[in-house]
Amino acid sequence: MKGFHNPYDDLAPGGSWVKCNFHAHAGTGPGTCGGNPTPSVVAAYKAAGYGALCISNHDLSTDTSAYADGICMIPGVEYSADPHMLTIGVSESLHALPHQEAIRRTRAAGGFAVLCHPNWIRKEYWPWEKLDGLEGFVGLEVINMLIYRLQGSGLAADTWDHVLSRGRLVYGFGNDDFHLWQDLGRSFTSLWSASPTWEGIRMSVRRGAFVASTGPLLEYLRVEDGRIRVKARMPIETYVDSFRYRFIGRGGEVLAEAAGPEAVYRLTGEEMYVRVEAMAENGSLLFCQPVCRTGLFDRGDWEN
Ligand SMILES: [Zn+2]
Ligand SMILES: [Zn+2]
């Protein structure tokens, strides 16, 4: 539909969905939380069907290039001066710098920054006032399942809607924040990429051609004839084909709900953005990136 931008339009031809985790701790050293051996962690993610993984230790760059066999190993660090954020695509820790400068340096290196677990410990672990003053992060962890064995909330749809409602296009990521084996594969990012390479992944992140999930995958999300048409699917072969869909707009308002194999939302044309969540029969969740009304959003200058 004219007037709205759908991040799932024009997906890279010949591409495929790549399961990614941008947030994991492994290896030895001060930043790794007494972690599991890196080769074992990488092997476990490969076995779980992941095409890309970042070992993002706390304030420590870990060279994982030796493990990039059948899986794309992305360099990155969890910047762990409070509040935490992922600096993906950089091979140095930027924690000695202020958040804004670390984001700028990450982008200058061709990478991207993602705000971590925005409601860890308490609501607004990432204070909205602080992130309102920060520029250039590409997104935030809308779901980080690790938090459900720590404190606070692993969901951050409230923070996401806050940022979107201010006219800033940022994306929702799903990450494990892997520390222990029980953390593996609980929340992930599924990304449409022309190739399972850093360059392909980076381009997909830039375009928002991905979903965050605790289980379901995206079959399609189309905007046509003034309607959003969306269908989720389970990651396994199954007869189960029904999901509960929610269409969410400015301020987190639920614009419509539907259940079935597919859901359709008729745009009024007045929506600032509409993002779709789908819940499977077992309660697992899919978060799609927002369909945004053109001209209302600032996404920053991605090139530097
Ligand atoms: Zn953290
Ligand atoms: Zn972490």
Expressed in angstroms and rounded, the spacing between residue 146 Cα and the centre of ligand 1 is 10
What does pTM read for this prediction?
A: 0.97
Expressed in angstroms and rounded, the spacing between residue 57 Cα and the centre of ligand 1 is 9
Q: Is the pLDDT of residue 245 over 90?
A: yes
**pLDDT band with cut points at 50, 70 and 90 for residue 304:** very low
The whole-number pLDDT of residue 285 equals: 98
Expressed in angstroms and rounded, the spacing between residue 64 Cα and the centre of ligand 1 is 20
Torsion over CA of 291, 295, 297 and 299, rounded to 10 degrees?
100
Residue 277 CB contacts under 8 Å (≥ 6 apart), including other chains:
157, 245, 246, 248, 285, 286, 287, 288
Residue 278 to residues 1, 23, 69, 257, Cα–Cα distance (Å): 22, 23, 33, 10
Instruction: Give 5-23 pLDDT, tens digit per residue.
Output: 999 998 989 999 999 999 9
Ligand at minimal distance from the CA of 26 is: 2
**pLDDT band with cut points at 50, 70 and 90 for residue 69:** very high
The whole-number pLDDT of residue 2 equals: 59
Phi, psi of 110 (to 5 degrees): 90, 10
CB 111 within 8 A of CB 154: no
Q: Is the pLDDT of residue 263 over 50?
A: yes
Report the distance separating Cα 304 and Cα 266, nearest Å: 37
The whole-number pLDDT of residue 301 equals: 53
CB 232 within 8 A of CB 218: yes
Expressed in angstroms and rounded, the spacing between residue 85 Cα and the centre of ligand 2 is 9
Residue 248 identity? I
Report the distance separating Cα 128 and Cα 112, nearest Å: 20
Nearest C-alpha neighbor of 19 from the set 157, 199, 215, 183: 215
Ligand at minimal distance from the CA of 176 is: 2
Q: Is the pLDDT of residue 303 over 50?
A: no
Mean pLDDT of the chain: 95
Nearest C-alpha neighbor of 241 from the set 254, 259, 223, 215: 259
Instruction: Give 193-240 pLDDT, tens digit per residue.
Output: 999 999 999 999 999 999 999 999 999 999 999 999 999 999 999 999
Expressed in angstroms and rounded, the spacing between residue 236 Cα and the centre of ligand 1 is 30
Expressed in angstroms and rounded, the spacing between residue 72 Cα and the centre of ligand 2 is 19
Tell me the torsion sign for CA atoms 253, 157, 278, 274.
Answer: positive
Instruction: Give 114-171 pLDDT, tens digit per residue.
Output: 999 999 999 999 999 999 999 999 999 999 999 999 999 999 999 999 999 999 999 9
Least confident range from 102-111, 147-156, 269-278, 291-300: namely 291-300
Q: Is the pLDDT of residue 54 over 70?
A: yes
**pLDDT band with cut points at 50, 70 and 90 for residue 1:** low
Residue ranges of E strands in the chain: 4-5, 16-24, 52-55, 72-73, 76-79, 85-88, 112-115, 139-144, 171-175, 188-193, 210-213, 217-224, 227-233, 243-248, 254-260, 263-266, 273-279, 285-288, 291-293
Phi, psi of 217 (to 5 degrees): -115, 170
**pLDDT band with cut points at 50, 70 and 90 for residue 187:** very high
State the Cα angle at 78 between 286 and 165, rounded to 5°.
Answer: 45
User: Tokens representing 282?
Assistant: 């077992």
Expressed in angstroms and rounded, the spacing between residue 23 Cα and the centre of ligand 2 is 6
Least confident range from 21-35, 48-62, 109-123: namely 21-35
